Structure 1
């Protein structure tokens, strides 16, 4: 695949305080990537630097083989052919939907602008809405208008800054899948910034997990969950607990619930103290098991129930059971550990 966008060792600052440091990444044409991380990690700053709204103090930003930003020069935002969808939609309330969508089109006749706007509104599922005003639309419809406006000039790349954060959970999940379908259908390259891993997993081909202005791991959703590069990624992605143990073989860890063998080998010395990551899907109900845990808490999630279980040692773990395994608080349940993707890190007190 052809690399469309490349960031080389960029640095951004706010009042001489580094917000992004030594960050490098590349985005292939037609792919959708996500920058995921907690508030203040620098992900929106990266997006604004790509768009041209923030200067860079080191490194380069290259789009389509051309340097569009460096410490000494910066192409103005309107000349970068980049579309942007903002968190608050930024629609003009006094303009119709059609006028909002065609706002960024320049050098065209009114008829041509209207034709393009109506075509794009059809793409985002809003055919026939062109004469309405933003206040007459729902939040999800307004978000589609904002996406249509970004798509209308046929940009090289679209940037989405926390675009679903103002929507309710159900609509957020549905719209994130729709946006992915639209971008893929149009062959548009996209970069999403979000703190919500469910959004990132639903949309992104690749995800960069950010912390303190740096990318901790750049990978697929599957690998971020099953093969986190460090303890921060392991903690931030998904749910789980760390179980202290001892490495007794390169692929085996002795813990308070028995010895657990996985599909990877660690090079630490035998006897090393480690923390084993247990995800909720590593803990399975098993009526034949001798390992008993007590139900401390439960959260019904439809097809599954998330249980907080207390081990005989008093330590608590999380488990996701199929919802027909319906247990009450205080019940004892038999479980087994099935963690073939064994993930461990050096022990932290």
Structure 2
């Protein structure tokens, strides 16, 4: 049972489908999901990629939070019962749009059946779409709406990242992954998660070191947006990219950056973002204190806090897929 659960978590984080039938199912799911987003756009005026961005964010946190129910349908948005029906509403299971509105609840009827059902995907999307439509439909107003709804800057940033990717790619089936070093270059790695690090004080190694020659290309592993680019005394020249699963990918000890790489850029799996080096462990420009390698880390945000997790199983999975 533990092995099955581990495999399921790996599939979620890595976005890898292993059977043709599963790929077909996912294709159908994405088609239906996009259809619902665009139907909500027509009904509320809120662009589909904003709706998709919120839905994907909520789905990503529900898989890693114990205080939220796991998504069991096509749509991942969860509206707390008190928000849905209204805090002062004495009817804990109210599905009447009139009384819900009277108690300032959010719940609305999105499919015209006269019921505001929190388990109906059209009702949920229509409800959240109407909430955002009150603020406006440009990035600035959408940010304000997100802040008022979630009250957390990092959440606002993650959802805006999703929206930027969906708008740029104009689709939502974006599960592809790439190994950070392309085929044709010599590299080696093993699981270095948790190893001791002594420079700058004792600390745990939060990532996997992939050893390769100076100048070997380093690639984005997923669709994402560049959040960070620059120098750190530990990581040297490094890049941070957040993906659609609200996972932050950290690439450190680079020799340099790709010419067109900048903060805010949307990247695809396989896009070159820099090259392998040995920078770090000192002030800007320090290099050569260790063999050239890429430090690759992954960090998960659940809407409350962020933590590092072992990237090694994901690297092995992406590597296997590329070799096939």
Compute the TM-score of the two structures, normalised by the length of structure 2.
0.25
Larger radius of gyration: 1
More helix by share: 2
